[in-house]
Structures are given as structure tokens and as C-alpha cells.
Chain A
Amino acid sequence: MKFRWHRRHWSEIIVKLLMYCSVGLVFASLAVILWTIVSKGLPALTWEMVSQTPKGGFYLGKEGGILNAILGSLYLAGGATLIAFVFSLPLALFLETYLGQSRWANWVRLSLDVLWGIPSIVYGAFGFILMLSLGMRASLLGGILTLALLELPIMVRAMDEVIRRMPYDLEQAALALGSTKWEVASRVVLRQMLSGIVTAILLAFGRGIGDAASVLFTAGYTDSIPTSLMRPAASLPLAVFFQLGTPFPQVQQRAYAAALILTVIVLVVSLGSRFLAAQVGKFSVK
């Protein structure tokens, strides 16, 4: 049984090597991306950037900040997530409880998958022609509605996943203990689902705040802080995109700073959802 080289050992070693390389590659790319954004963005990040709106000559390198885009993005993604949530939760709940594994449920799931796969630029174009036909112009409301369309399938899918994984035994056990149906629904099911729902909301929010293609035509861009649903609103991804496209190095610097701010927001949301899910889901049965 002494070790002697067989073909299987060589393949094992080679594959293991390739695996280490792959793992290294994947995690090195993340490190490089974060490093690029931080190293470029940090020097350009000033208090002025996050506390002021663009002043005259901002796009030529004069003073000002991107508060308009930060607030715009939060409004856009927040509004969209709220609307998407209002439709997703009942859809996901009823999909399981009322429709179960029926044919129609499979159609609904299939169409959700298709919606999930529709590129955001298509949502953007659709949102724009919809607004045109309603006589609306690029506005915060238009951006919110388009983003809500984009977030809907993401949210339903994430929720459906959680609900489907709900152990059936759990409900039975609770009922067997003499709980009423209402107690089961409110104490057991909801609690079990809560962490999943929180994750789904934050996942969709993160997607929404980072998406540029869908708000490009529908929300427009403006230098002032949005005050009305019918006025255009700036957003962080577009702030990055537009400023990076200018030929002035000072303005490009700001694009890096904006990218850093966007990254930080998304990371906080992503890690926050993990933390929250862990907190809320502490007592859920895995």
C-alpha cells in the first residue's frame, strides 16, 4: 500500500492545482476590483463631495459635490423597493399556498424567470415609451416605476425560495402543540420567513441602487436634489458614468469618488443583510 504514482494521483494533483489557481483568480479579482475602486476613490473623496450639490462649472472641475446623486439613488431604489415589495410578498405567499405545484403556478414561475432574465436596458426602453405614451417626462416617478419592474422578479424569486424551503413539519409541529392557525401563521411561519424576507428586500434594493441602464432614460439627471416625484432625479451609477466620460481629470476623479460611495453603500447593504438575517433568523429551524 506504499504510495506509488498512478494516473489518478497525477490527475488529482493537477486538478487540485487548477482549483487553487481558480479560487485564487476569483478572489484576486475581487481584491483587485475593490483595491482599484478604493485606491482611486479615496484620494478624491472629500466632505464637499457628499454634502453639496454640483455648483456652476462642476463638470469642468469647479466646486460642488454629488449629494444630488446620492439622495436621488436612495429615493429611486427606496421607492422602487417599496413598490416591488407590495406586489412581491402577496405574490410569493400565494404562489406557494394557493397555487402550490399546479400547472398555473409553473407558468407563473416560468414567467417570473423570464422577467428575471430581461435585460435592464430593455426595462429602461420600455419604461421610457410607457412614459411617453402617458405624456410624462423623465422623472423620479418614472425611474421608481421602472426600477420596481426590474426588482419585482428578483424579490419574488428570493422570497419564493425561502417559503418553499419552509419545513412542512414545522407547521405540523406547531399545530400539534395546540396552536391555532393564526398563531402558526403569525408566530412560526412569519418568524421563519422574516429573515428570508429581509434578505430579499435588501437584495432587491442593492440591485436597484446599482442599476444604471434602467434609469438612464426614465429618471434623467439633474444637478438639484429631487423635490418632486415629477421632476428628474440624479443617480449614483449615472454620476459615475457621466463623469468618467468627460475629458477632465478632476471630473474623472469625482467619478472614482462616486464609485467608491456607491460601492460602500452596496457593501453595507449586502453585509447588513447577512447580519440582519442572522439576527432575525437566530431561532429559525434550518
Chain B
Amino acid sequence: MSNPHIQVCNLNAWYGSQPALKNINLAIPRQQITVIMGPSGCGKTTLLKTFNRFFELTEGARLEGQVLVDGENIYDRAIDETEVRKRIGLLAQRPTVLPMSIYENVAYGMYIHRMKKNAREYKDAVRHYLELAGLWDEVGKRLHDPATALSIGQQQRLCLARGLAVEPEIILGDEPTSALDPISSQHIEKKLLELKDRYTTVIVTHTLRQAKRLADYVVFMYMGEVVEAGPASQVFNHPQQERTQQYLAGMF
């Protein structure tokens, strides 16, 4: 693959003495949706967390190897992890809205990075990103209500708007629809597809059907290892590895 956006080199990770990732080598293409799939406990969420330096927040977590974003190792000493997290946004399994109003939730990230100059600019930006996340029509009239008053599906789209507002290049999704009802899941999937030519997107999922709906590029993991990675059509239609074939056939 020429010019991958994220490149993982010889990545090993442990929780305490328990190995979680074993010698991962991987390239993730630019401005496409990459889906990481595999049975639960295979390390896919762990891998995702190493991309935005969330991995190290777990107690006893240890890591060796490199994660290169645009050729820059984000585990280098000279890297600012807050800058990493600004450029690589995360949608968590459950929406993590902050205990503030809807407006403040979207403005929060821009505010802490001092990205806008005055109230007018913040207001416009909040509207823009709520529109981008497809939430404006529903909440435009009650921006100053607490964000927790929204339904869980709306909260997840709010998190998407909030993440987009700090102008990331990469969006990570850790099973972002697993806590949502089918309609809300559809909303999120639709948005991710709409946004995919502007952002590099990496989604973790354990539902094969979602993977098939979203993926341009697929990574299949098993027991902390990458078994197979490649363009969606190739992996889904002509899997090379026996494990992948078994997984796609629904054998585990």
C-alpha cells in the first residue's frame, strides 16, 4: 500500500504479564473505512486504543514497537499525547458525553485547544459540527439543555460532533453502535460512510454484517495477532487464511 495513514510496526503489548498484542504489523489506508474484526477478546479494542494513546491509561499496561501516523512514531518521547488525541478522535462503545449542556459539549474541545477567537465563531462552529453529525435538526432549539437529556443514540452522534469539532484527521470507533438501537446504529453508520472521504476511519466491530456494510479495508485479528488484512472484497470473497475462512463461515 502506498502512503498509508497509520502504520504499525512490530507492536507488542501487555496488561501486566498478560500479552494482549503479539507482533502486530499493519498499514491502514488513508481516507477509507478500515474495519478491525475478530471474536471478543482478540485484542482489537486494545489495538485501537494504542492508536490514540489511550492504551497507557490502563494500569499495568506496557507496550513495545511503533505506531506511525504519517511516518511519525506517536510513542516517540518528543510526541505530545494530547496533540495525538486531538488529531485522532475516538467514539467509544457507550457515548461519553460530558456533564454539560449540548452546546458546551461540542464547544469543549475547541475551547480547550483555543481554536476559535470569539463567541460568534464558537456558535457557528457548534452549529456546523452538529449539522455534520446530523443532529442539528433535533437539538438546534435546545442547545442549552443538559446533554444527558438526549437519547443514547443522539448522545453518540453528539460525541461524533464533539470529536469532529477539534478537526481530527482520523476517527476511531470502538464498536460505536453496540450500545445503540438499530435505527440509531443506522444513523451512525450512515454518517461514517458520508464522512469517509474526508477522514481516515478505523472501526472495531464484532458483527460481521456491520463489517461488510462499512469496510473498504479489513483487518482480521485472533488471539492478539493479525491473521489477515486486505481490501474488503479480497478478504470477504477470497480469504487466504484458514482462520479467516472459518470466522467468515461463522464457526467461532
Residues of A within 8 A of B (CB): 1-4, 7-9
Task: Flag if B78 contacts A7 (CB, 8 Å).
Answer: no
Nearest-neighbor residue (CB-CB) of A2 within chain B: B78
**Interface residue? B91 (CB, 8 A):** no
Q: Could you say which residues of chain B place their CB within 8 Å of the CB of A1?
A: 69, 72, 74, 79-80, 83-84, 87
Query: In the bound complex, what is the Cα–Cα distance between A33 and B114 (angstroms)?
Result: 46
Task: Flag if B112 contacts A2 (CB, 8 Å).
Answer: no
Q: Could you say which residues of chain B place their CB within 8 Å of the CB of A3?
A: 78-80, 83
Shortest 4 CB-CB distances between A and B: which pairs? A3-B80, A1-B83, A1-B79, A1-B84
Query: In the bound complex, what is the Cα–Cα distance between A8 and B81 (angstroms)?
Result: 12
Chain B: minimal CB distance from A12 (Å): 9
Q: Could you say which residues of chain A place their CB within 8 Å of the CB of B233?
A: none
Chain B: minimal CB distance from A176 (Å): 28
Nearest-neighbor residue (CB-CB) of A4 within chain B: B80
Query: In the bound complex, what is the Cα–Cα distance between A21 and B78 (angstroms)?
Result: 27
**Interface residue? B96 (CB, 8 A):** no
Q: Could you say which residues of chain B place their CB within 8 Å of the CB of A9?
A: 80, 82
Q: Could you say which residues of chain A place their CB within 8 Å of the CB of B114?
A: 7
Task: Flag if B79 contacts A8 (CB, 8 Å).
Answer: no
Q: Could you say which residues of chain A place their CB within 8 Å of the CB of B74?
A: 1
Residues of B within 8 A of A (CB): 69, 72, 74, 78-80, 82-84, 87, 112-114
Query: In the bound complex, what is the Cα–Cα distance between A3 and B78 (angstroms)?
Result: 6
Q: Could you say which residues of chain A place their CB within 8 Å of the CB of B80?
A: 1-4, 9
Chain A: minimal CB distance from B80 (Å): 4
Query: In the bound complex, what is the Cα–Cα distance between A2 and B79 (angstroms)?
Result: 5
Q: Could you say which residues of chain A place their CB within 8 Å of the CB of B113?
A: 8
Query: In the bound complex, what is the Cα–Cα distance between A9 and B79 (angstroms)?
Result: 13
Q: Could you say which residues of chain A place their CB within 8 Å of the CB of B79?
A: 1-3
Q: A1-B69, A1-B72, A1-B87 are in contact. Are A8 and B78 (CB under 8 A)?
A: no
Q: Could you say which residues of chain A place their CB within 8 Å of the CB of B82?
A: 8-9
Query: In the bound complex, what is the Cα–Cα distance between A1 and B87 (angstroms)?
Result: 8
Query: In the bound complex, what is the Cα–Cα distance between A2 and B83 (angstroms)?
Result: 8
- Main secondary structure on chain B at its contact with chain A? mixed
Nearest-neighbor residue (CB-CB) of A5 within chain B: B80
Query: In the bound complex, what is the Cα–Cα distance between A1 and B83 (angstroms)?
Result: 6
Task: Flag if B112 contacts A8 (CB, 8 Å).
Answer: yes
Q: Could you say which residues of chain B place their CB within 8 Å of the CB of A2?
A: 72, 78-80
Nearest-neighbor residue (CB-CB) of B114 within chain A: A7
Query: In the bound complex, what is the Cα–Cα distance between A155 and B112 (angstroms)?
Result: 45
Chain A: minimal CB distance from B36 (Å): 22
Among A1, A4, A8, A9, max chain B CB count under 10 A is at A1
Chain A: minimal CB distance from B191 (Å): 26
Q: Could you say which residues of chain B place their CB within 8 Å of the CB of A8?
A: 82, 112-113
Among B74, B82, B112, B113, max chain A CB count under 10 A is at B82
Q: Could you say which residues of chain A place their CB within 8 Å of the CB of B72?
A: 1-2
Among A3, A4, A7, A8, max chain B CB count under 10 A is at A3
Q: Could you say which residues of chain A place their CB within 8 Å of the CB of B84?
A: 1
Query: In the bound complex, what is the Cα–Cα distance between A7 and B69 (angstroms)?
Result: 25
Given A1-B83, A3-B80, A4-B83, 15 more A-B residue pairs with CB atoms under 8 Å apart are: A1-B69, A1-B72, A1-B74, A1-B80, A1-B84, A1-B87, A2-B79, A3-B78, A3-B79, A3-B83, A7-B114, A8-B82, A8-B112, A9-B80, A9-B82
Query: In the bound complex, what is the Cα–Cα distance between A2 and B74 (angstroms)?
Result: 9
Query: In the bound complex, what is the Cα–Cα distance between A239 and B80 (angstroms)?
Result: 59
Q: Could you say which residues of chain B place their CB within 8 Å of the CB of A7?
A: 114
Query: In the bound complex, what is the Cα–Cα distance between A95 and B69 (angstroms)?
Result: 59
Query: In the bound complex, what is the Cα–Cα distance between A9 and B112 (angstroms)?
Result: 11
Chain B: minimal CB distance from A92 (Å): 32
Chain A: minimal CB distance from B184 (Å): 30
Query: In the bound complex, what is the Cα–Cα distance between A206 and B79 (angstroms)?
Result: 51
Nearest-neighbor residue (CB-CB) of B84 within chain A: A1
- Could you show 24 A-B contacts with beta carbons less than 8 Å apart? A1-B69, A1-B72, A1-B74, A1-B79, A1-B80, A1-B83, A1-B84, A1-B87, A2-B72, A2-B78, A2-B79, A2-B80, A3-B78, A3-B79, A3-B80, A3-B83, A4-B80, A4-B83, A7-B114, A8-B82, A8-B112, A8-B113, A9-B80, A9-B82
Chain B: minimal CB distance from A181 (Å): 38
Nearest-neighbor residue (CB-CB) of B72 within chain A: A1
Q: Could you say which residues of chain B place their CB within 8 Å of the CB of A4?
A: 80, 83
Chain A: minimal CB distance from B69 (Å): 7
Chain B: minimal CB distance from A5 (Å): 9
Query: In the bound complex, what is the Cα–Cα distance between A4 and B72 (angstroms)?
Result: 15
Chain B: minimal CB distance from A118 (Å): 36
Query: In the bound complex, what is the Cα–Cα distance between A141 and B114 (angstroms)?
Result: 67
Chain B: minimal CB distance from A9 (Å): 8
Query: In the bound complex, what is the Cα–Cα distance between A208 and B87 (angstroms)?
Result: 58
Query: In the bound complex, what is the Cα–Cα distance between A4 and B82 (angstroms)?
Result: 11
